[in-house]
Amino acid sequence: MKRLAMIAALLMAAACQPVPEKGDLGYGNEPAPVAVPESAAAADCIARNGTMQPVGRMQTMQCVVRYADAGKRCTDSDQCAGECRTADVTARPAEGAAVAGICQADSNRFGCFTRVEDGKAEATLCID
């Protein structure tokens, strides 16, 4: 019984050690600062004339680049920097229907849209 009490007292005394400072590994050398990926992504985004924006259901920060040909009339995505999409997102044409579209405004891939390929509507997609 005395041994058990002695072991318990030693364990409690050992638990009273001070907590090391945040970042201190206890070896006298601090870890080198690491570039935060978000900072690198933001710098890359700015270099491409984009802006970091919260997108999608999860509102994750992504680089959104505006396309120079945004709103131009098209019948195929080959005619655009982005995709050729129907102008009215609420009027969803039947898949395979002959339609003309407009070039995508920016690189944001979220939302509902109908792509236009070879002058025909493809299936409407909703990406969140």
Quote the pLDDT of residue 35: 52
Residue among 27, 43, 26 nearest 35 (CA)? 43
Q: Give the tens place of pLDDT for each residue, 18-75.
A: 655 655 555 556 666 655 566 888 899 999 999 999 999 999 999 999 999 999 999 9
The pLDDT of residue 51: 94
Residue 35 gets the label, from left (phi > 0), alpha (psi -120 to 50) or beta, of beta
The HSE-up count of residue 50 (CA atoms within 13 Å, CB side) is 20
Phi, psi at residue 63, to the nearest 5°?
Answer: -75, 125
Given a cut of 60, is residue 2 above it in pLDDT?
Answer: yes
Q: For residue 88, what pLDDT is reported?
A: 86
What is the amino acid identity at position 63?
C
DSSP track, 31-49: PPP---HHHHHHHHHHHTT
The residue ranges of every structural domain in the chain are 35-65, 69-128
> Are the C-beta atoms of residues 114 and 92 closer than 8 Å to each other?
yes
Cα separation of 122 and 99, whole Å? 10
Q: Give tens-digit pLDDT for 72-99.
A: 999 999 999 999 999 887 888 999 999 9
Closest by Cα among 78, 65, 94 to 86: 94
Rounded to whole angstroms, the Cα distance separating 104 from 100 reads 13
